[in-house]
Amino acid sequence: MQTLILVIVLALISQLVGKPALKEKSTLRLLHVLFRHGNRNPEETSMWSSNSFSNASNYPEGWGQLTNKGKMTEYKLGQFYRERYDQFLGDTWNIDYVDFRCDNYDRTKMSGELVMAGLWPPRGANVWNKGLAWQPIPFEYVPLNKDPLLYPIVSVQFQFDFALTFLSGKIQSHLAKKYGEAMKILSQNTGCSATNYAIGSAYYDTMMVQEDLGFKLDSWTTQVYPEPLKSLAVDIFYVMTNNTVLRKKMAGSLLKKVITDTYSLIHGTLSPPTRKMFVYSAHDTNVGSMYLSLQAYKMDQPPPYGSSFIFEVHEIEGVWGLKLFLVDYTKGSPHSLTIPGCEEFCPIDEFYSLVDDILPLD
């Protein structure tokens, strides 16, 4: 009898404990989400002629395009957003709810569409074709050379050269010491320049992409892949965000937009006022340079396919602020991030003053 009562009491308690989440009023007011595209084919510009799979015929979708695996990665990311933000976003899509931008790359546009497919399956008034659980969602993009928001770099090579002009010879000798041997092997086998670290990083991507596609890498690559080329790829991210000038260039414009849009909401000037979400479909360079510029996370690998950086805008007891999350679909649940000098919930005025030095003026 006593056990039965205990069981009933426990059941009641667990019900009560389970409930508050529903009753508690959500403090979420706006979302800014940035993500990397899905798994892709190699880029033609990052291919060397002696590579066993250098022929375009190995890549049915074309150079640099999303693969079927990549489509699933992005679709699942959309489903993750839907699950996490279902109540906040509501059932039906409306043009005013979502501001959705990609840069002018096929793979970021397709990835964005796939995320939207997972995020906004038609419900209620949006159902238009009972045989198809999908609805079209519009997006915007501008030419790459006019896109400081999502394409601050012309290429990794350009950005790396740009970075070096701002950095001491110390970093170059640091790279030479750490990767000189690997670059020599790379140069002997691919014909690239042995001092071109940006190419080293790009060729690391190509090997990773080919491995992801299930291709057997040429045997010489075991000398450099995954290490030390993986560490080189990580170091390139650190070089590209090594000081405030570089952070301003790599992440500043998008960060400034996030802050500006957040203040517009707070001041009641956001247009349209019912906006719930800003969506940015871009690259590993965007995601990685964002968290490195904010000094919010230690990079141990370049941001994987479908990884995402989320700025949640909350209003908690009258205080407006941001909560930051990094989502890596390979690792499951979102990872809460903090920037130096602030807490997990960072009041917007504090956040602004902490990152002010990396915001561009115009």
Ligand X SMILES: *[C@@H]1O[C@H](CO)[C@@H](O)[C@H](O)[C@H]1NC(C)=O
Give residues in contact with ligand X (CB under 6 A): 55, 57, 171, 174, 235, 238-239, 241-242
DSSP code string of 90-140: -SS--TTTEEEEE-S-HHHHHHHHHHHHHH----GGG---TT--------B
Nearer to ligand X, 239 or 322 (CB): 239
Nearer to ligand X, 77 or 232 (CB): 232
Query: E-assigned strands of the chain?
Result: 28-36, 98-102, 277-282, 308-316, 319-327, 335-337, 345-347
CB 310 to ligand X: min, Å:
23
CB 172 to ligand X: min, Å:
10
What is the distance between the alpha carbons of residues 72 and 79, in angstroms, rounded to a whole number? 10
Nearer to ligand X, 135 or 295 (CB): 295
As given in the structure block, the two tokens for residue 361 are 């003026």
CB 292 to ligand X: min, Å:
7
Nearer to ligand X, 55 or 269 (CB): 55
Sorted by sequence, the CB contacts under 8 Å of residue 55 that are 6+ apart come out as none
Query: β-strands 28-36, 98-102: how paired?
Result: unpaired
Nearer to ligand X, 74 or 205 (CB): 205
Query: 65 φ, ψ to 5°?
Result: -85, 160
CB 105 to ligand X: min, Å:
25
CB 237 to ligand X: min, Å:
8
What is the distance between the alpha carbons of residues 352 and 112, in angstroms, rounded to a whole number? 28
